[in-house]
Amino acid sequence: MNRKSQGTLSFFLLALVALPLAAQNTPIPSPPAINATAWILMEAHTGFILGDKNPDQHIEPASITKMMTAFAVFNELANGNISLSDKAQVSEKAWRTPGSRMFIEVKSQVSVEELLQGMIVQSGNDASVALAEFVAGSEETFAALMNQYAAQLGMANTNFLNSTGLPAADHYTSPRDIAILARALVGRFPDYYRWYSQKEFTYNGITQRNRNALLWQDATVDGIKTGHTESAGYCLVSSASRGPMRLISVVMGTPSSRARSDASQALLNYGFRFFETHELYAAGQSVNDVRVWKGSQKKAGLGVKQGLFITIPRGRYDDLRAEMDLPPQIIAPLSIDQPLGEIRISLDDQLITQQPLYPLTDVPLGGFFERTLDAIKLWFK
């Protein structure tokens, strides 16, 4: 090869190197190695699991139990059975309950709102028992109520015996169940959930700080609950919201308070870095307009009852595929509570989610002339 040919080849190779590479999907590595007995990472809007270890193992929950105590009380508030201003009388049992304390005094009257903050922010066992007795008459009856709510939520690996999380034989839960519970707390009770981001609370002249260290180191974290006993180890349920995405991490059985915070932060960072959540359709938004036969109107919009969210690997949004399954003819009358087919979202031929579609407005029968004309058209159709 002569010198001129060599120069031409070198230029050609440089030109190839300079060409832009085609965009590639971001690879998804395995989740960080977590020094914990069990853990799970869930997206709150979709329930999508981004990673886990022993998610269904029966674990002693320690003060993580108080999440269900709060859930039960929140439901009593929502149902109008009690109010935040109601006063609960502190029993001797509540006053003597060992462990972390709010420092309520025996026979004193304390409002439900103060007890909730004492339980959520200060992790007061005395506040938990006082709330349980106020709602159900006794802690034992309240524990039965807790288990009924757990069954309603689908917490299949949970059994509560008390409202505090103090060690007791056959008192257990699992990371998956606690993630389900955290998702329900965030979604159903946003006005009460805000207490989980409260960094300190003062009662009886005593100020105590929230034990969730992530509230100080990550501005996107707004909850949710710590737990610790010698037998359970150090546990942390954390939740963070960045843009349209909210993650819930449950870390149980770590060797120290620092370890539970580091593990939770690592999981949250991993989830936000490699996954993304999108709201494809809002509740009440028209997904498709369809022809309505024999109705008072010719067209009707179809939509979803709740916002349709999906969680996917980052960068794969343009690869999503949406399909609708609808009846060949849609005939009035239509009701907003009557499902008309469904929408399915897939990625790489794998179904991600599906939801029924509903008329966005009621469509009553049309007049005699409209019905007759449409009947003729349908006959020819």
Residues serving a catalytic function are: 63, 66, 123
**CA dist., res. 87 & res. 289, Å (int):** 53
**CA dist., res. 366 & res. 291, Å (int):** 14
Could you give the angle at the alpha carbon of 184 between the alpha carbons of 180 and 161, nearest 5°? 65
**CA dist., res. 312 & res. 298, Å (int):** 37
Smallest CA-to-CA distance from 115 within 172, 149, 74 is with 74
8 Å CB contact between 315 and 375: no
Long-range contacts of 19-25 (CB under 8 A, 24+ apart): 25/313, 25/315, 25/316
User: What SS3 class is residue 227?
Assistant: strand
**CA dist., res. 276 & res. 215, Å (int):** 23
| CB neighbourhood size of 142 (10 A) | 25
Residue 213's Cα: distance from chain center in Å? 21
Phi and psi for 250 in degrees, rounded to 5?
A: -125, 115
DSSP state of 96: H
| 163, 164, 166, 170: CA torsion to nearest 10 | 30
Q: Show the tokens assigned to 13.
A: 């190779």
Strands 308-313 and 342-347: unpaired
Strands 200-203 and 206-209: antiparallel
**CA dist., res. 141 & res. 133, Å (int):** 8
End-to-end CA distance of the chain: 74
